[in-house]
Structure formats: C-alpha cells, structure tokens
Amino acid sequence: MRGARTEGAIERALFFCTSLSIATTLGIIAVLVYEGIGFAREVPLGSFLFGTRWAPLLEPRSYGVLPLVCGTALIVAGASLLAVPLGLAGAIYLSEQASERTRAVLKPVLEILAGIPTVVYGYFGLTFVTPLLRDAFPSTDIFNAASGAIVVGIMVLPLITSLCDEALRAVPLSIRQAAYALGATPCEVSTKVVLPGALSGVLAAVILAMSRAIGETMAVALAAGSTPKLTLNPLESIQTMTAYIVQVSLGDTPAGTIAYHTIFAVGALLFLMTLGMNLVSHRILRRYHRAYE
Amino acid sequence: MSDAQREACSVQQEKRLARRRAVSAAFGVACRVLTWAGVAVLGVLLWHVARAGLPWLDLQFLTSFPSRKPDKAGILAALCGTGWLIALTMLLAVPLGVASAVYLEEYGRRGRWASFLSVNIANLAGVPSIVYGILGLTLFVRGLHLGTSLVAGAMTMTLLILPVVILASREAIRAVPGTIRQAAFALGATRWQVVRHHVVPASLPGLLTGVILSTSRAFGETAPLIMMGALTYVAFVPKHPMEAFTVLPIQVFNWASRPQKEFHGLAAAGILVLLAVLLAMNASAIVIRFRASRRFRW
C-alpha cells in the first residue's frame, strides 16, 4: 500500500531529525575527548588538574587549571550568595503573598530580565557596578571578581525566582490550610511548612542556577578580568574557565599547538562540571515530582 | 494553678504571640522589599544604559560601519550580520526542532528510547553556550571547511537553540487535547494526517511563540560565535551565506572592552538597539499567544 509506505517514510524522517540531538551530544563528547587527548599527550592529567599556575600562553609555560577553577568558583559563590536569598524571597513573595495582579506584573518582568543578553550584564558590571565598588573599596581592581559575581547573580536571579516559585506553588494548598488552622503565622507557614515541602525543587533550582553561572561567559569576560589567579579576594582581577576560552579564541592561536589544545581541555572540564550539576538537579526534581502524586 | 499564675502565663503567651506576629510582619515586608529591589535593578540597568547610549543613537549610528573614530562608528555590518544569522538559523532550527517535537510527542512517546531522548535533550539545553562554540569551531569551521562564514555560524547556533526549540514545541503540541486526535483517528486518518491537519495547525500559535522566544536566545548569544572565530571588525555587508560576518552582541562586546569612554557610549547605544529588537520579538510572541487564546477554546 502506498499510504503505509509514505507513513513509514515520514516517521523515519522525523526520527532522523530527533536523532540529531543524540548526534550533537556524541559530537560534543567526541570533539572534547579527541582534542583533549592531544592535550593529555603533552601535559599529564595530574599536573593539569592539580597545578596551581595557569600560564599556557607565556613562557615559562604552566598548565595547572586550579586558578581558573578558583576564579569560576569565586564567581559562582558570589553569585549564589546574592541570588539565592533574593530569589527565595522573591519566590516566597510571588507564590505566598502577592496578589494575582502583582504576579501578572512581576512574571513578565522576570521573563524580560531572563532574556537580556549576557553581554549587556557584562557592560553593566564594567561601567556601573565596578565604579560603585571602587568608590566603596578604593583598592579594587578595574576588572574584579566581585563585579562579575554581582552581575552573574543578577543574571541568574530570574531563573532561581521562577523555578522556586513553581516549586513553592506545587505544595498543595491543604497543607498551608492545616498549618494556619493550628495557629501558625504567615511567616511560619512559609518558612516552616511550605519551604521544607518544596525543598527539593528549591535545591534543584539553585543547582541549575549555579551550573548556569559556571557556564556564563561574556559577563565575566568583560567584568572579571583575564588574570588567572589563585585567590579568594573578590576585589582582585581573576579569570574564569569560560573567560580563558574566549581570550584564546580572540587571539590568533594556530590549530594543533598546545595553546589551542588547552581550550578543549578547559572546555571538557567545563562540560563535565555543568553536566554533573544538571544531572544532579534533574534527579532531585524527579524525586520531588513523586512526592505529591 | 492559682489565678496569679494563670495571669502570668497568659501574659507570657500574649507576649509570645505578639512577637511571632511582629516577626511574621517583618518577614512579609522583607520579602516584598527584596522582590521589588530586584525589579529596581532592572530599572537601574535600563536607565544606566539609556543615559550612556541615547546621545550616540542616531541614523548615522545605524547606517555606518565600525570605525576607529567613535563619532563615525556604526552598527550597519553588525545589524546585517545578525539579520542573516537569525534568518539562516531559523531556516535550519525551526523545521528540525518542530519535527523532533512531533516525533517525540506523536510517534515515539513510550519506552526507554523516548525517555533517553528526553533526558538527552534536557541535558543539551544545559550545556554552556561556549561548548557549542568549541563544537562549531571543530566540526563546521575546520571539519567541513566552512570557515568563519555565516553558514558555519548558523549551524552552530542551530545546535545551540535546537534543544530549546524542541522543548518549547513539545509543550505547545502537548497542549492539544487528545480528543482532537481520537476524533481524527476515528474518522480513519493516518497518524501523519492527524499531525498535519490537526495537531500542527491547532498548536501553531504555541509553536510560533516558542520558536520566537528561543530564537531570541540566539539573537543575544555572543560566546559561541566569538569562539568559532566570527570577526570583531567587519566593514562590509555580507552578500551571501559564505561570507564572514559579525553580529550585534559581538560589536557591543568589542566596544565595551575598550578603555575609552566614547566606545562605552557606542556599546550602550548598541545595547539599546539589541534590547529594542528583543523586546519587539517578545512582544510579538505575547500578541500571538493572546490572539490564539481567543481563537481556540477547548
């Protein structure tokens, strides 16, 4: 039958489109592994992962990735410090306190904030946040981790707020009513009943936002600097893993050199870190979906 | 218990209750203030960019090529590059994304393979954009010898937004009630006929909204394009898809990373154009959603 054959062909064509996503995943892994091996041939894995000096472009060369990881960690920690409390407060306000009309205003604002390109946040950090910081702390470098962390925090804030809001709203109304019936105040209901009930969803949101902060590139490339440094001082210039990759690709690094291979090694590390966090977040969410069903 | 004891007890209880109420009220105010503070940040950001950028924003800025002299510089090349890139990306990503979503929702919903595909797509959506840049550089720029052309850029961007397009399209398709499909099947339609004549038309507004919103993500992306080697200085309008290009966010990045204050003004003006286009895209998505909600009711 002709119809059946067409049906089959269409299904196969659609399936082919879908399998492109598998091909993408395999492509990413293959590229990172293949070029990463080129790097591993010249630099032992141990001295890459645990070395404390990162200077792949200047003599004497050194390939310890810890300063980049430290820079990224500084950004992620600072951003979380800002975005988690603010995001949670916003989510509690949105889901527990705000009227429907206020929600109708705030939700689109969150969407707009989430849609602003990251290079805009980089500009904002460099030309607005950094001058403020330098007024407050004169020792601040022009490029500094604090400014990068603040703008990345602002950037992930709408993500945390929206996801936490969803998690809080998934807690059944009857549980709140029970708490109120026992005489709890609104604050007690929010923090001692609803929040614990939505904890897995909140946790998943926070992890997802942190993984987003790890992968964030343009804002930190503009605001946080390009000085790989093993420091915990947020007022100094640092370099994140992503900013390093951008720095190399902006210069003329010939393919096949070890400096070229470093971007794949750093990229592979970045990929593994974000993938791990996304998987953890996913797993937590799946468990939480079972909780109220 | 004596009356005095009872009295003391209830006074104590009153005090505790008052404290709990005060804490609760303060907590409520704190949440409200913090939320609006977040909104205020958006206001400050817009105000800051507008103040720096508006003096530079004029017709000459929109119709000039980048220049070493700030008052002669413009975004013509970047605007055209962005237009090309978005058009090519949509041409590739929309059919692929919608087809994948149709397959996942209408054909292969069950089984381990389907759930593996879903998890894979969710994970791809979380991969940092710069990793896609690495992929594009190796696969398209070097592997397929496409160079740093618009085609290579569009293919990289397609891989980047494909997971988002698929997720949004699945959402739209899922919103079509099963009764519509059952009615069509009952009349003897094949699966493809059901998809073509019922599911896709019914979910079209949702599909459009999702596609527009996910394309707006490609619009603001910078890192993967810099990664694959898109130029930062382009003084021509690309005429065909094999030419080199730059895009608006890269131009903004380039200007913002210079130390001179004039170039920061140019960067701010570029951001204003970027935000205006994004806002227009978002607004059109909202309009489509609104009109659709009046047309279809089930």
Sign, Cα dihedral of B281, B282, B286, B292: positive
pLDDT tier, A43 (very low <50, low <70, confident <90, very high otherwise): confident
Closest to A263 (Cβ–Cβ): which among B42, B126, B134? B134
The C-alpha atoms of residue B288 and residue B16 are separated, in whole angstroms, by 54
Strand, coil or helix: A230: coil
Tell me which chain B residue has its CA closest to the CA of residue A83. Answer: B38
Q: What is the pTM of this model?
A: 0.87
Contact B20 A18 (CB under 8 A): no
Cβ distance A31 to B139 less than 8 Å, yes or no, reads yes
Q: Do B24 and A185 touch (CB under 8 A)?
A: yes
Give Cα separations from A179 to A182, A188, B162 (angstroms): 5, 9, 44
Distance (Å, rounded) from C-alpha B298 to C-alpha B291? 15
CB contact under 8 A, A97 and B32: yes
The pLDDT assigned to B297 comes to 56
Tell me the DSSP string of B209-268.
Answer: HHHHHHHHHHHH--HHHHHTT--S---S---STTSB---HHHHHHHHHTSS-HHHHHHHH
For B260-289, letters b (16+ CB in 10 Å) and e give eeebbbbbbbbbbbbbebbeebbeebeebb
Res A263 pLDDT > 90 = no
Complex prediction ipTM: 0.87
pLDDT at A161 over 80: yes
pLDDT of B112-133, one tens digit each?
777 888 888 888 888 898 999 8
* Contact present, B153 and B225 (Cβ < 8 Å): yes
Q: Identify the pLDDT of residue B293.
A: 66
CB A109 within 8 A of CB A207: no
CATH 3.90.1720.10 fits B60-295, yes or no: no
Distance of residue A223 Cα from the nearest chain B Cα, in angstroms: 9
Q: Return the number of other C-beta atoms located less than 10 Å from residue A118's C-beta.
A: 24
pLDDT of residue A206: 92
Who among A18, A218, A264 is closest to B222 (CB)? Answer: A218
Q: Which domains does chain A have, with CATH numbers?
A: 64-291 (1.10.3720.10)
- Per-residue pLDDT tens for A205-220? 999 899 989 988 888 8
Assess whether pLDDT exceeds 60 at residue A1.
no
Cβ–Cβ under 8 Å, residues A235 and A158:
no
Q: What is the pLDDT of residue A288?
A: 66
- State mean pLDDT over A99-119: 85
Residue B66 has pLDDT above 70, yes or no: yes
**A149 with A234: CB under 8 angstroms?**
yes
Regarding beta strands A54-55 and A62-63, do their DSSP bridges make them parallel or antiparallel, or are they unpaired?
Answer: antiparallel
Greater confidence (A2 vs A189) lies with A189
Number of neighbours of residue B212 by Cβ within 10 angstroms: 19
Cβ contact (<8 Å) for B24 and A188? yes
The single-letter DSSP state of residue A143 is S
What are the C-alpha distances in Å from B183 to residues A96, B200, B258, B292? 41, 15, 63, 22
CB pairs under 8 A between A and B: 242
Residues 6+ apart with CB under 8 A from A247: A221, A226, A239
Of A25, A109, A161, the CB nearest to B120: A25
The predicted model gives B161-166 an average pLDDT of: 90
* Core vs surface per residue A245-280: b (16+ CB within 10 A) or e: bbbbbbeebeeeebebbbbbbbbbbbbebbbebbbe
Task: For A50-94, write each residue's pLDDT tens digit.
Answer: 877 787 777 777 788 888 888 889 999 999 999 999 999 999 999
What part of A 48-67 touches B (C-beta under 8 Å)?
none
Could you report the per-residue pLDDT of A242-262, keeping only the tens digit for each? 888 888 888 777 777 788 888
* Pick among B253, B262, B274 to test the A interface (most A CBs inside 10 A): B253
Distance from CA of A86 to the nearest CA of B (A): 6
What share of chain B has pLDDT > 70, as a percent? 95
Express each pLDDT in B34-53 by its tens digit.
Answer: 999 888 988 898 898 888 87
Paired tokens of A96: 């527990």
Place of tokens 């797509």: B121
DSSP, collapsed to helix, strand or coil, labels residue A62 as strand
Q: What is the amino acid identity at position A26?
A: L
Tell whether A185 is within 8 A of chain B (Cβ): yes
Minimum-distance CB partner of A249 among B44, B226, B274: B226
Q: At what angle do helices B129-136 and A241-250 cross, to 10 degrees?
A: 30
> What's residue A271's pLDDT?
92
Cβ within 8 Å, pair B117-A89: no
Give the three-state DSSP class for A55: strand
pLDDT at A182: 93
B83 vs B89: CA distance, rounded Å:
10
